Structure 1
Amino acid sequence: MASASVTIADLRQLLAARFPEKTEKPAGLVPTGVRAIDEALGGGLPAGRLTELVAAAPGCGGQLVLAQLLATTRAARQRVALIDGADAFAPEAVSPDTLRHLVWVRCRTLDQTLGVADLLVRDGNYAAVVLDLCGCPERALRRTPATLWHRLHRAAESGGAVLVKAPRPLVPAVPWRLVLAKPLGPAAHRRPQQTLADRIVVEVARGHAEAAGSDSICPVIARPRHSGGAVAIQPLDWSRGTEFAEVLDCFRRRSASYGGQVVVPPGGAPRNDKPGQRDAAEQLAG
């Protein structure tokens, strides 16, 4: 097993050695599987751009959007990275097969979360990188400098789609901001996942990607129609996290297939038990 002292800098160095040539930028759009979002964005999340998803109300479907994105990218055999800022992702709420293409990075601090994001959005081997900041301390989020978001904007240009999931608007000059403001309702947990996804209501705001330091946005409302990767290295054992250093072994594999992995950056083991778990459908509605 790799040394426990391995850091993000070590992973960055290995990436540069493993992929010396800049990976060709993924073209086009990455469908999310959520009709209201895909129709508003012209087919899906734009590659090479940041898109912000604001989960503005409890039970509005923020986790459901992530679950749908995992399902659509898995069907397309595309890799996804989830940078989990508050260790809040509930893998038991989605089909095990949809997790086989996923690299789940379980973080404990905002600095750690943003440091991992700075690395992974540059990778170019992911169709989508999801940066989940819901549950991160509000005080820390307020202190995030605008220059950091500008850096991520630029870094994203060489990679796939980047989705920033946040409890409120955070990213300045974001090309697209998707606001989930309407709860799915008390009976949401009794409905099938796709039915729930079709009921999501999203407010879509279009910004200006090059307007650094500003946030000029014209709101557009998109409402749903009520009409009724790569092969994983190994099956994922969700009873334990993988030490951060172990991800290096994934990059050393000739196939460079590193799906189905849980990565824990240095700074403490993640929570393996999450008391008070709701059932899978209720978690998706959250």
Structure 2
Amino acid sequence: WMAAHLFCGGENKPCGNCPGCVRLETDNHPDIMILKPEDGSIKNQQVEAFQEFLRIKPFLAAAKVGIIEDADTMTPSAQNRLLKTLEEPAPGTTLFLITTNFNRMLTTIMSRCQTLRFQGLDESGIASYLMNHYNVDRIRAEHLGLLSGGSLARALAQMDSVAVEESEELVGEWLAALAQGDRVRMFELADRYEKTIDWDQTLVWLMRALRERMFAAVGQGKPTDTRTAVRMGRHVEDALKALREQANERIVIDVMLLKMQEDYYG
């Protein structure tokens, strides 16, 4: 909407009918570039190409717009490269950095930006949309809603993701091993998935599974099981926070599994 406002040639911006608005709506405007993650991150070479685009004068509009989606996925070197552009942008250039996780952004980047906070969509609303418009089953839709961070676009992008399926499989196998008293298998599973798994979204899915277990225990009048599920959920929350602060992934996972076992087995 903000980019359309800059490119619109009508009186009531954005009008949606002028050439600038139409080109933007059809992804055919030469003066805007949208940078997105490739293979899970935005790399140095991508930012370099982005900067080269911004250095060229506008072709049709009076301004150029650069948008970086999921800006928190920029590698540290890519963020450092972007600093100079933020400090000395070309005349008439407007940049938008979109992120759902400020903690992954360098403080030097954040200090050079004006922060605008937008309320994310409700998780249940995203899940309902996926079920109604894409025939996604309820459990998968709720999982995608949790992982979306309030973004429908992110939920749609992950809808057919193999990584999401791996997260669901690992959590299911972890909980099965826990119920069977197989302590060693929980660590063996972590070994098996370590190179391919997205730990962040796996822990989000694990938190959901534990929450469901807690609700079930409440409904069955089992206060001991309820307290156990709550305590295990807190360990998962702590692990998720540590991962987002760039702690060693495998150490964090192993500590979390040990603490979950201590609570479950007593």
TM-score norm. by structure 1 comes to 0.29
TM-score norm. by structure 2 comes to 0.31
Larger relative contact order (Cα-Cα within 8 Å, sequence gap ≥ 6): 1
